[in-house]
Amino acid sequence: MSDSSRDRLNNCDRLFHALGDPTRRAILDRLVTGPASVSRLAEPLGITITAVAQHLQILEEAGLARTEKLGRVRTCRIEPTGFHALEQWIRDHRIDWERKLDRLGEFLAEDDASG
């Protein structure tokens, strides 16, 4: 497996943890419709702003969301990095095999030349 694929394997641990919680998925569901402030995220979920902030921290660490403070308001938006890593991870084994089968082709061609 390649260097980048091992990196992705480690990142995916965080990703799956982040996505495993229903509240965090509800936050992402809301964020895909557009950026929102922390308080506006908290309202429909019926949880405290502190709780939302904790969930957001986990989402940020997984590369799924991003927050920035503008004046007194903390705004949250979706971050594509984490989603791409997730898709990549599922495709990982396929890429590994694609490379191996390339090498098989090279090996057979060398074998032709030497034999």
Query: Which residues contact another protein (rule: CB under 8 A)?
Result: 1-3, 6-7, 9-10, 12-13, 16-17, 19-22, 25, 28-29, 32-34, 78, 80, 83, 86-87, 90, 93-94, 97-98, 100-101, 103-109, 111-112
b/e burial code for range 49-78 (CB count within 10 A of at least 16 → b)? eeebeebbebbbebbbbbbeeeeeebbbeb
Are the beta carbons of 102 and 15 closer than 8 angstroms?
no
- Closest CB to another protein among 70 and 108? 108
CB of 73 to another protein, least distance (A): 20
- Closest CB to another protein among 49 and 67? 67
